Structure 1
Amino acid sequence: MNFDLFAPEAQANVLPCDGVVEDFGLILTSEQSEKYFRYFLATLAWQHDEIILFGQHHKTGRQVAWYGDENYQYHYSGTFKQAHLWNPALFRLKQHIEKLVGHSFNSCLANLYENGTQAVGWHSDDEAALVSATGQETVIASLSLGATRKFSFKHKYTAEKVDLLLHSGQLIVMRGQTQQYWKHALMKSTRILEPRINLTFRYFF
């Protein structure tokens, strides 16, 4: 089945309760999406992610690249990630998304999945660095490029699930209490042979 035949429509909130995930639909044309995908695939500073899981060091199949306003470090999953200064095209895309979302971002964590066998398990983006001392809401904008993939949310207490098919050029934004009450995951699929890039724009305090 070609999922791209069914282009996503914008929705104010895909979650039924306890959070807000706004789906902006496709914010790029197919030509723009393809150009960005090919350019970022070739030029971003990709490297395999490293995490500490149950006290053991692991190197993931997916690759990551982290960019931001400064050469700072970001700590998660027991390891430190070093940020690169903005790639010019990535910075322009950030500015475009900021205007759509109405929120500023100072960093972008890019993820590269070579095919459907590479995925991310259930987790929340609730690190202390993403939450301000004043309790300002956590806002994360996520742009998909490349292969269409299934992205799911699961409520931490009721186990209710919400599934989305994220297309190339599609933007979703997680706001409010989403990270407090929901986990999310990129699901595996052996049918998907093409790569996908996910750009997650964040604000670190």
Structure 2
Amino acid sequence: MQRPNANPQQLPNGFSYQRMTLSAQKSLNLFYHLQQNLPWQQPSTTVYGRTGPIPRLQCFISDNEIEYGYSHSKLIIEPWPVVLLAMRERLERHLKQPLNSLLVNYYRDGCDTMGWHSDDEIELGPKPTIVCVSLGAERVLKLKHKATNKVTDLKLHSGSTLIMHGDSQRDYQHAIPKQTTLAHPRISLTFRYILPTPS
């Protein structure tokens, strides 16, 4: 994995993007390995009083003492696969900070989405660093400033790395909208540090 750095595209403060941190072949190999071997879940959430399955598949990987969830549901914890543990360790060395958990999202086609949200849960701390590695189909990530509603579009390429840090989660929401003409799948790896649950 190459070192992530700033993207020439102008992004808001708190966001940096590197188009190719994994080669095309490594990205493809990792995509198919994870697609076939991760124990995918499809938890339900409640939005505006309606409960139903989320529009994508997920797998949550973390150290043993870590728990994580949203919309009043806890995710089933899976152990670290060797290939993802190695990626985590490389990112920790580069960022000089720990990353003890990984949320993997599997978008089966362009109809699978991620709604507007911030990764601002209390267990992530006040200024979390979220590292997102994309594999597979290109998808558009939308960034929306909470105060001005200004939206920035960023195309996430296979093998790319997006780092969200500082006040990014305080000031912005992000989303993956529908792309109904897209037939190909995408996997996103979102590494983060979750504060351990007090014993």
Q: Give, in whole Å, the separation in 2 of the partners of 1:126 and 1:14.
A: 23
Residue 194, structure 1, aligned to residue 184, structure 2: yes
More strand by share: 1
- For the aligned residue pairs, the C-alpha RMSD in angstroms reads 1.8
**Matched position secondary structure for 2:27:** helix
Q: How does 1:2-41 map to 2 (within 5 A)?
A: 10-11=6-7, 14-16=10-12, 19-41=13-35
The residue type paired with residue 39 of structure 1 is: H
| Aligned residue number for residue 65 of structure 1 | 59
| Aligned residue number for residue 167 of structure 2 | 177
Q: How does 1:1-205 map to 2 (within 5 A)?
A: 10-11=6-7, 14-16=10-12, 19-70=13-64, 72-131=66-125, 135=126, 137-205=127-195
Per-residue deviation, 1:71:
5.8
| Aligned residue number for residue 6 of structure 1 | none
The residue type paired with residue 187 of structure 1 is: P
Q: Deviations over 1:132-153 (max 9, x none)?
A: xxx5x21000000000000010
1:143–1:169: 8 Å Cα contact kept in structure 2?
A: yes
Q: Deviations over 1:99-126 (max 9, x none)?
A: 3333320000000000011111111010
2:143–2:174: 8 Å Cα contact kept in structure 1?
A: yes
Q: Unmatched 5+ residue regions in structure 1?
A: 1-8
**Matched position secondary structure for 1:162:** strand
Residue identity (%): 33
Q: Unmatched 5+ residue regions in structure 2?
A: none
TM-score (norm 2): 0.90
- Judged with a 3 Å threshold, the aligned counterparts in structure 2 of structure 1 residues 187 and 56 are, in CA distance, closer, same or farther, namely closer
Per-residue deviation, 1:54:
2.7
Alignment coverage as a number of residue pairs: 191
Q: Give, in whole Å, the separation in 2 of the partners of 1:86 and 1:173.
A: 21
1:14–1:162: 8 Å Cα contact kept in structure 2?
A: no
TM-score (norm 1): 0.87
